Amino acid sequence: MAKTKQKDLKKRKAIVGYLFILPFIIGFISFMAVPLLESLRMCFSNVIISTGNKGFVLENIGLRNFVRAFTEDPDFNRMLTEEITRMAINVPAVLIVSFIMSLLLNQDFKGRGLVRAVFFLPVILSSGVLIGLEFNNSMLDGMKSYIQENSNVVDITASLQEILSNSGMGTRFLNTVYDILNSVYEVVLSSGIQIIIFLSALQSIPKSMYEAAKIEGCSAWESFWKITLPMVSSIILVNVIYTIIDFFMRTDSEIMEKIRTNMIRLDYGFSSAMAWVYFLCVIVIIAVFSAITSRWVYYYE
C-alpha cells in the first residue's frame, strides 16, 4: 500500500513537472525546431543566395565547412580553446562566490531584504541592454581610462603579483588566481541567479535538522558538511549546468561574435558549422560536469 502511494506521488510530481515545461516544449517545436534542422543542413552545404523567389539554394559539400573551421580558419581553434579555458576558471569561481553569498544572505539580520535586493542587482545589470551600454559607452570608457591613469591600484596589484611570483609558488596556479581576481567584476555580474537558486535551496532545509544536530553536539562547521552541503547538492548540479550555458551564451564571447560576423557576410554554411561545433562542445562539457557532480548529489524526499 505504501509503495502504491509512493508511485502515485511520483506520477503526480512528474505530471506537474511536465506541465511546467510544456510551454517551452510547445515554443521549441513551433519556433525553434525547423531553424535548428535547417542550420544542421547548412553545415554540410554551400548556401547560395538566390535572386529569385527561392530564397537560397543548398549545395551539398560534405564536411568541407568543418575542415575549413579546424584547418583553414586562423582564429577558430584559438578562440574555442580560450573560451573553454575561461569557462573552466570562471564557472567554479561563480559557483563558489554565489554559494558563499547565499550562505551570508540566509542569516537572520536587520535589513536582510534590502541586502538581498542589492545582491540581485547583478541580474539586472547583466541584461542585454545594459551590457550593450557598458561595452559601447564612450563616457564609461573614458572614466575607466582616467581611473587607471590616475590611480595607484594597478601599481599595487602589479607589485603584489611580482612578490607572489617570486615566492616560489607554482606559476600556473598564480596565473589562474590572477585571472580570477582580474575578472571579479564579471564573476559578480554572473552570480545573481545562482545566489537566488542557492538561497531558495537553503531556505528549504528544515530547521529541525539543525536543532537536532545541535542537541547531538555538532558544531556549525560539522552541520555545514553533514547537513547543508548534502541537502543543496542537487541544486549545485542545477547551478553548474546553468552557469556553463550562461557563460557560453555571453554577448562578449569571441566565438559568438565570429559566428555572427560570418552570418552577416552571408556565409551561412561556415557560420552554421562553427555554431554546431560550439554547441557540441557545450553539450560534451555539460555531460562531463554533470557526470562528475552527480556522484556527490544527494536526493531526498
The residues spanned by each domain of the chain are: 74-107+193-301, 127-189
Its pTM stands at: 0.70
- Local confidence pLDDT in tens for the 301 residues of the chain: 556 766 777 788 888 888 988 998 998 888 888 888 888 888 888 877 776 666 677 778 888 888 888 888 888 888 888 888 888 888 888 888 888 888 888 877 776 677 666 666 656 555 544 454 445 445 445 545 554 555 444 444 555 556 555 555 556 666 666 666 666 667 777 777 888 888 888 888 888 888 888 888 888 888 888 888 888 888 888 888 888 888 887 777 788 888 888 888 788 888 888 889 888 988 898 888 888 877 777 666 5
Domain 74-107+193-301, CATH homologous superfamily name and number: MetI-like (1.10.3720.10)
Give whole-number Cα distances, 269 to 48, 73, 74, 157, in Å: 9, 14, 17, 46
Q: Which three cell numbers stand for residue 180?
A: 580570477
154-162 long-range Cβ contacts below 8 angstroms, 24+ apart: 157/181
What are the φ and ψ backbone dihedral angles of 48, each rounded to 5 degrees?
-105, 120
